[in-house]
C-alpha cells in the first residue's frame, strides 16, 4: 500500500499508546542528558525553568502534535501537507514535517553513540569492573572508552544494528509488551539508587543543588538549554509524536494522556538527578563534567553496594532498552520518508537510513578523541549536532506545529476534541496562540 493512502492501524489500547509514547520520550535524555545539563547549568534555576517549559510549552505542543497526527492519519510530512490544503493554509507548512524528519536523523546519529556507551557499561558491569574502584578508577574506565575509537565504534555499531534490526523487521510494536515490564523496572531501579544516594553524606547538598535556586545562575543561555531540553526529552518538534498521533483512536483523551506521559518523563529525569548528585557531592566530583556524568558517578555506587555488579548490569541493560525504544522512534520517520520518496522497499530503506545515521555518528564518535580539536562555530561535531537540533531545529519545528494547530484549525472542533469547556478552552487558546509561541520566540531570539 502506498504511504500516502495508508490509513494506520490503531493502538490496541490507551495503555499501548501511553507505553509507546513514553518509550519514545523516556530515554537517554532523562537519565544521561538531564543530569549533566543540570550540573553544567548551575542546578535548581535550570530545573525550575525546565519544569515551566515542560508544562507550559512542552505539554501543549505534545497535545498539538497528537491532535494533528490523529486528524491527518498519515506520516508527518503528508499530514502537514494535507492539513494545510484542507485548512486553506500555505503549502510551506510542509516544512514543519520535513525539518522534523531531518532533526530525527541528526539526533539518531549521536544518540546511537551514547547508546553504545550504555552497552559498553553492561559489559563492564558483567566483568565486575566497577567493584572496589575509587572515583579515579571509575573515571579511568570512562576515559579509556572515550579515548578508543575502536571500542566506541564497536558499541555504536552494535547499538545501531539493534535499532535497524528491530525497525526493519517491523516488530516495534512487539516492544510494547516488553516495555510494559522494563520501563517500570527502570523506574524502580532509579528509586533504589535514589535510596542509596540518601545514605550518602552528599544527599542534602544534592537536594538543595537541584531544588533551591540560585537565580544568579539564570542566563539566557540556561533558559534556551532548558527549553531545548524540554523538546528533546518529550520527543517534540520531530514529527514523531505526530506520527504516533496517527495511531490514536477517537476515544482517547489527549490532554489526560499527555499529562500522564509528561509526568512520567519528568519523574524519571528528576529521579536520575537525585540518584547522581549525591554521589557527585559525596565524592567531590566535578558538577560540570558534561556528557560523562552518569558514567563516572553511578558506577561508584555499583562498586559499593553488595551485589552491585548485578545492580549495575540491570541498570545499564534497562538504560540501553530505554535508549533503544527512543532510537526506534527516531529512525521510524526517516525510514517512512525514504520508503515513500524512493523505489526502495521498507527493509532496504531501513538499512539505508540507519547506515547513513551510523556514518554521520562516526563524526560524533571521533569528536571524543581524534577529531576533538576540530571545531565548527567553536563546537566539536558531537556538540554541534546536539546543539543544532536541541536549540534550533526542535523548538522551531515544535513552534510550527503549535502555531498551525492554534491558528489554522477550526476552534470549535478543537475544543470538542479536547473535551474542554468554554472557560478552559479560552485558557488553552491563550496558551497555544500566544503564550507558548511567544515564549519560544523570545527565548530563541534573545539567544541569537
Q: What is the dihedral of CA 291, 48, 179, 348, to 10 degrees?
A: -50
Window 242-271: contact mask with ligand PFF (x via CB under 6 A) = ------------------------------
Nearer to ligand PFF, 240 or 440 (CB): 240
User: Does the footprint of ligand PFF cover residue 235 (CB under 6 A)?
Assistant: yes
Shortest CA distance to 64 belongs to which of 266, 250, 236? 236
Count of chain residues binding ligand PFF (CB under 6 A): 16
Distance CA 98, CA 157 (A): 27
Q: Which three cell numbers stand for residue 64?
A: 498539538
Report CA torsion sign: 33, 37, 39, 45.
Answer: negative
User: Does the footprint of ligand PFF cover residue 160 (CB under 6 A)?
Assistant: no
* Residue tagged 561508584 (cell numbers): 300
CB of 242 to ligand PFF, least distance (A): 10
User: Does the footprint of ligand PFF cover residue 240 (CB under 6 A)?
Assistant: yes
Which range touches ligand PFF (CB under 6 A), out of 26-34, 242-250, 365-373, 409-417? 26-34
Among 84, 193, 223, 330, binds ligand PFF (CB under 6 A): 330
User: Does the footprint of ligand PFF cover residue 27 (CB under 6 A)?
Assistant: yes
Shortest CA distance to 61 belongs to which of 92, 25, 34? 25
Window 89-128: contact mask with ligand PFF (x via CB under 6 A) = ---------------x--x---------------------
CB of 235 to ligand PFF, least distance (A): 4
Task: Report the DSSP beta bridge partners of residue 376.
Answer: 379
Nearer to ligand PFF, 189 or 240 (CB): 240
Among 17, 20, 23, 24, binds ligand PFF (CB under 6 A): 24
**Please, which of residues 358-377 interact with ligand PFF by CB under 6 A?**
none
CB of 241 to ligand PFF, least distance (A): 8
Nearer to ligand PFF, 44 or 319 (CB): 319
Q: How many CB atoms within 10 Å of residue 144?
A: 10
SS3 assignment for 245-310: HCCCCCCCCHHHHHHHHHHHHHHHHHHHHHHHHHHHHHHCCCCCCHHHHHHHHHHHHHHHCCCHHH
Nearest position to ligand PFF, beta carbon? 29
Residues 109/361, Cβ–Cβ less than 8 Å: yes
Nearer to ligand PFF, 274 or 334 (CB): 334
Residues 6+ apart with CB under 8 A from 235: 21, 24, 25, 241, 326, 329
Q: How many CB atoms within 10 Å of residue 412?
A: 9
Residues that bind ligand PFF (CB under 6 A): 24-25, 27-30, 104, 107, 232-233, 235, 238, 240, 326, 329-330
Amino acid at each position: 500500500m502506498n504511504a500516502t493512502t495508508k490509513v494506520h492501524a490503531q493502538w490496541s489500547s490507551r495503555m499501548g499508546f501511553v507505553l509507546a509514547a513514553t518509550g519514545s520520550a523516556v530515554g537517554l535524555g532523562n537519565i544521561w542528558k538531564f543530569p549533566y545539563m543540570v550540573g553544567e547549568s548551575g542546578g535548581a534555576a535550570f530545573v525550575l525553568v525546565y519544569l515551566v517549559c515542560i508544562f507550559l510549552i512542552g505539554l501543549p505542543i505534545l497535545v498539538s502534535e497528537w491532535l494533528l497526527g490523529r486528524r491527518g492519519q498519515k506520516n508527518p510530512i503528508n499530514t502537514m501537507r494535507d492539513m494545510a490544503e484542507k485548512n486553506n493554509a500555505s503549502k510551506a507548512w510542509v516544512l514543519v514535517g520535513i525539518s522534523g524528519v531531518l532533526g530525527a536523523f541528526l539526533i539518531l546519529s549521536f544518540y546511537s553513540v551514547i547508546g553504545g556507551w550504555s552497552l559498553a557499561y553492561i559489559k563492564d558491569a558483567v566483568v565486575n569492573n566497577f567493584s572496589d574502584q575509587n572515583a579515579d578508577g571509575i573515571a579511568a574506565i570512562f576515559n579509556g572508552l572515550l579515548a578508543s575509537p575502536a571500542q566506541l565504534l564497536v558499541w555504536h555499531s552494535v547499538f545501531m544494528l539493534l535499532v535497524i534490526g528491530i525497525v526493519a523487521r517491523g516488530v516495534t510494536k512487539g516492544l510494547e509488551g516488553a516495555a510494559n515490564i522494563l520501563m517500570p523496572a527502570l523506574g524502580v531501579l532509579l528509586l533504589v539508587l535514589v535510596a542509596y544516594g540518601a545514605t550518602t553524606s552528599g544527599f542534602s547538598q544534592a537536594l538543595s543543588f537541584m531544588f533551591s535556586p540560585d537565580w544568579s545562575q539564570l542566563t539566557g543561555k540556561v533558559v534556551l538549554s532548558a527549553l531545548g531540553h524540554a523538546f528533546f526529552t518529550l520527543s517534540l518538534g520531530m514529527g514523531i509524536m505526530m506520527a504516533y498521533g496517527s495511531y490514536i483512536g477517537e476515544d482517547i483523551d489527549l490532554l489526560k494522556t499527555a499529562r500522564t506521559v509528561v509526568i512520567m518523563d519528568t519523574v524519571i529525569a528528576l529521579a536520575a538527578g537525585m540518584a547522581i548528585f549525591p554521589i557527585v557531592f559525596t565524592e567531590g566530583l566535578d558538577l560540570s563534567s558534561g556528557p560523562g556524568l552518569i558514567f563516572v558517578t553511578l558506577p561508584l555506587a555499583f562498586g559499593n553496594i553488595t551485589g552491585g555488579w548485578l545492580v549495575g548490569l540491570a541498570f545499564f541493560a534497562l538504560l540501553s532498552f530505554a535508549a533503544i525504544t527512543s532510537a526506534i522512534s527516531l529512525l521510524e520517520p526517516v525510514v517512512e520518508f525514504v520508503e515513500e520518496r524512493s523505489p526502495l522497499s521498507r527493509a532496504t530503506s531501513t538499512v539505508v537510513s540507519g547506515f547513513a545515521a551510523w556514518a554521520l555518528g562516526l563524526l560524533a564518535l571521533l569528536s571524543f578523541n581524534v577529531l576533538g580539536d576540530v571545531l565548527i562555530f567553536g563546537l566539536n561535531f558531537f556538540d554541534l549536532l546536539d546543539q543544532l537540533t536541541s536549540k534550533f531545529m526542535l523548538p522551531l519545528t515544535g513552534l510550527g506545529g503549535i502555531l498551525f494547530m492554534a491558528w489554522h484549525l477550526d476552534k470549535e472542533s478543537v475544543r470538542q476534541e479536547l473535551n474542554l469547556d468554554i472557560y478552559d478552552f479560552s485558557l488553552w487558546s491563550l496558551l497555544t496562540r500566544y503564550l507558548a509561541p511567544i515564549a519560544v520566540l523570545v527565548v530563541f531570539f534573545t539567544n541569537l
